[in-house]
Every structure is written in C-alpha cells, then in structure tokens.
Structure 1
Amino acid sequence: MQRGDRPAFGPGGPAEAPSDGADRFAEESTIRTVVDRNRRLCALQELRNLVSDGALDMDLLLDKRNYRGGSTQET
C-alpha cells in the first residue's frame, strides 16, 4: 500500500476517526478536572505565600475561643 492509497480516516490514515458525543464528553470532563485541579493548586500556593509573608495570622485563624459566638472572655 502506497502513501497516497491510505484512507483519510481509520487505521493508517493521517486523521483519527470522528469521535462520538460520549468521547467528546469524556475528554471535556477530563480537561475540566485538570483545570479545576490546577486552579486549586494555584490557590493553595498563593495561600502558602501569604502565610510565609506574614499576611495571614494563623494563630488568630486557629483561635477557637470566639468561634460561633463563643465566650469573649478568656478562662
């Protein structure tokens, strides 16, 4: 079989066979998952940078004495 004799679609052809809707949905779902994961990782890195720069007071954030209307007086 010569190069010019190859079919346009299918095995041996330069293009892939057209995909159905399920394949396209799976690909879009995978891409969406990767984009979401990347967004969360970027947010986590930004939070780490804020903490290391001292922009967030972790002791204040972790102090549960005033959590949900708790007592404002120390015991």
Structure 2
Amino acid sequence: AMLAATATMWDVLHWGGETQALIWDPRAKKVVGINALGVAPTGATPGFFHARGLDYPPPYGPLAAVTPGTPGGLLVMLAEYG
C-alpha cells in the first residue's frame, strides 16, 4: 500500500521524503517500526557550510543536508515483509 500511495499521491507522499511505518510481523508476533529517515553525507559538517558562507545547510539543492530515506525504507519493507 505504501508503494502505491507513494506512486500516486504526489501532494502528500513522494520519493524524496522520509518514511515511518509500523508493520505487524506475524512470524515474530510483534509490531516492527521502520524509520526511513534521510542521512547526511559525512562531509556535511558545520565547517563545510561555514567555509561557504552559510550558517546552516540550505533547504534545497545539491548542498541540502539530507538524502531521501523513502526509497530505502520501501525496499526494506518489501524485502522483509512483502
């Protein structure tokens, strides 16, 4: 369902975002949390941005601080839980 929603509901979900999900795992008989937040590159340090005259990472563009987490999260959900 998450894959279908991401592919069709562009106003609220998209590939460039972050994803959190709770999934019932019938094998383990427990709820599993998937936290697919983006990660910052190792070089995205305060010094890197200060050297470019920035106090903070910009919200858009190639210097934005985070890479999308949704694609990886969806792949984990599909691989582990179908």
TM-score (norm 1): 0.28
Whichever structure has more helix as a proportion of its residues is 1
Greater Rg by CA: 1
Whichever structure has more strand as a proportion of its residues is 2
TM-score (norm 2): 0.26
